[in-house]
């Protein structure tokens, strides 16, 4: 997602990493462990778990704010967003979220936060400075994916049982379009130029490419893996490289990440990772991609240039979300 660079923040970490050969490439990778109520912190240079943060119940969605100094976690069963210091791992505060927050996204200006409340068919808008709920927007059944357009004008929410991507105007908080996608949409992701929106459908087994300007579906990406039953191909997490050339899609219990040419929509490769891969995150330099593998309790590390899985790192139980800080 948006990776805000901060020289100051990087320098603080640099001081601590004098022994690392390429300290500029060392980032912190945060992984939420759904069943352990923890967040594992991985050093992207050593590829080792360097810390474990004890958090609230059922941590799922995880993003960074305030120039990557705040770590925000949806602790779904505690019905709140917990905020931690991404450098010291200390607890800062709770944000109200509405019931059962699952995924969220931050406005490109840094505030507010848009949260999907899975249990209440709502999207909640929260000011992260004043801790106030600004609006609650009724959407479809089981809201899940959230994505704010790079220009900040539109926030998209997917609803898992309604099977739609809802386009919400960030000024009026009104729904301006509803686009039908395949069954059980999970993640929505804009390309960095804002010209494409991809929505994964977990049960439908497809990714719908939407033209946000026209507000219509323009393509549907399907997957085929030799020797793997169609039922197991369940797209969830989506990430693009900043140049908009490559896309990665996590394919759930097929234990593969699809590498897709984001211009032709052709699947170029399937990479074998851990079991039930759901979410993905690229390092700011786009050299590494991290995947959360729910049932095998690990994170796979993919070398983006070579398109090879280079390591598996054991984390907590049922790793769910992942985000990489710019420091």
Listed residue (82, 88, 83, 95) closest to 130, CA to CA: 95
The Cα 201–Cα 29 span in angstroms is 26
Q: Which is nearer to another protein, 117 or 196 (CB)?
A: 117
- Rg of the Cα atoms in the chain: 18
CB of 108 vs another protein, minimal distance in Å: 23
CB of 120 vs another protein, minimal distance in Å: 6
CB of 300 vs another protein, minimal distance in Å: 21
Q: Which is nearer to another protein, 161 or 296 (CB)?
A: 161
The Cα 74–Cα 63 span in angstroms is 9
CB of 87 vs another protein, minimal distance in Å: 33
Q: Which residues make up the interface to another protein (CB under 8 A)?
A: 99-100, 118-122, 135-138, 140-142, 159-164, 166, 172-175, 178, 180, 183-184, 203-205, 229-232, 234, 253
Q: Which is nearer to another protein, 220 or 311 (CB)?
A: 220
Token pair 């390309």: residue: 191
The distance in angstroms from the start CA to the end CA of the chain is: 15
Listed residue (222, 237, 234, 224) closest to 290, CA to CA: 237
CB of 178 vs another protein, minimal distance in Å: 4
Q: Which is nearer to another protein, 28 or 184 (CB)?
A: 184
Q: Which is nearer to another protein, 112 or 284 (CB)?
A: 112
CB of 321 vs another protein, minimal distance in Å: 15
Token pair 């990430």: residue: 239
> 3-class SS at 107?
coil
Angle at CA 302, nearest 5°, toward 269 and 145? 80
The Cα 241–Cα 282 span in angstroms is 8
Q: Which is nearer to another protein, 88 or 229 (CB)?
A: 229
């Amino acid at each position: 997602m948006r990776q805000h660079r901060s020289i100051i923040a990087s320098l603080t970490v640099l001081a601590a990493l004098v022994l690392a050969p390429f300290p500029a490439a060392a980032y912190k990778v945060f992984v939420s462990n759904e069943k352990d109520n923890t967040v594992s912190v991985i050093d992207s240079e050593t590829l080792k778990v360097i810390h474990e943060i004890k958090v609230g119940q059922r941590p799922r969605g995880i993003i960074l704010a305030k120039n990557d100094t705040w770590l925000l976690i949806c602790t779904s069963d505690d019905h709140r967003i917990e905020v931690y210091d991404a450098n010291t791992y200390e607890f800062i505060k709770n944000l109200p979220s509405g019931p059962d927050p699952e995924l969220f996204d931050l406005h490109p200006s840094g505030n507010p936060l848009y949260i999907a409340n899975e249990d209440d068919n709502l999207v909640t808008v929260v000011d992260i400075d004043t801790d106030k709920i600004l609006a609650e927007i009724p959407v479809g059944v089981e809201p899940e994916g959230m994505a704010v357009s790079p220009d900040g004008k539109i926030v998209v929410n997917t609803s898992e049982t309604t099977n739609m991507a809802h386009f919400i105007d960030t000024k009026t908080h009104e729904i301006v379009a509803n686009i039908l996608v395949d069954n059980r949409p999970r993640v929505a992701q804009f390309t960095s130029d804002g010209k494409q929106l991809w929505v994964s459908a977990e049960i439908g087994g497809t990714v719908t490419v939407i033209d946000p300007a026209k507000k219509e579906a323009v393509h549907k990406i399907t997957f085929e893996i030799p020797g793997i039953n169609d039922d197991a191909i369940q797209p969830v997490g989506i990430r693009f490289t900043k140049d908009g050339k490559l896309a990665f899609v996590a394919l759930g219990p097929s234990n593969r990440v699809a590498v897709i040419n984001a211009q032709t929509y052709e699947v170029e490769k399937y990479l074998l990772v851990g079991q039930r891969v759901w979410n993905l995150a690229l390092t700011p330099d786009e050299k590494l991609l991290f995947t959360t593998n729910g049932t095998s309790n690990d994170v796979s590390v993919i070398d983006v240039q070579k398109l090879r899985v280079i390591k598996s790192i054991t984390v907590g139980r049922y790793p769910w979300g992942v985000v990489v800080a710019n420091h």
